[in-house]
Structure 1
Amino acid sequence: MSYTMNRTITDADFDTVDERARKALADHGFGVLTEIDVKATMKKKLDKDMSAYRILGACNPTMAWEAIGLEPRVGSMLPCNVILREVQGGVEVSAIDPVASMSAIDNDALKEVAGQVRDMLSKVVEAV
């Protein structure tokens, strides 16, 4: 089972893909709560160079509210991460598959919510 949904964008640079990803997230009810510039962090902390790599911590408040109501500790697995990374020939967009990440929790109602979020994030990845 794959744990991410992926798409490689070949018609835009990294910053443009970032803008498109944020718009797609907003259009599908997600806000970006956190952002980690992994490339800058690795350079600062380890003096290592790498290609552009950014993690966007996305949250759909309605779905998060529902999930937390079903399983109070699920917050340890939130927000839903979307990564943008430079790859050969483009920029890869990857979103976590919430069904895969929630499979460790034995709660059928939560798995149903995770399926709804997966559908939403799949649309986000396709819209970028």
Structure 2
Amino acid sequence: MTYEVEKTDEEWQAELSPNEYKVLRHAATEPAFRGEYTDTKTEGVYSCRACGADLFTSSEKFDSRCGWPSFYDPKDNEAVELAEDRSYGTVQTEVRCARCGSHLGHVFEGEGFQTPTDKRYCINSISLRLRPDSK
């Protein structure tokens, strides 16, 4: 797949920390309940840590108690792409940044959360950067 932001592995490694690189470029998962944005209530826009694309807003963030930031919808449906993921012995839906292809997390449906979409975009904090609203 071709993305608006294309870089070599060496370029990504030079720009990202080792942990950011593992998650964003190799679909690793950060430990539960340790991420920077798991419990934050700060209002603002969450962008891709790799390329800066706006992905989610605090308006769609909710507390799912799963250990990672959860959103019920992306900021814009074009901001993320979904892909089948069979890497954990089950079929899951991976969430990637549509601008650079970086791994963000997974999306789950039908879990019974009282949200408008009944979806939970379970996103690694390390994949995001929060830009707080200026008031």
Task: Give the TM bin, normalised by the shorter chain.
Answer: under 0.3
Larger radius of gyration: 1
TM-score, with length taken from structure 2: 0.27
TM-score, with length taken from structure 1: 0.28
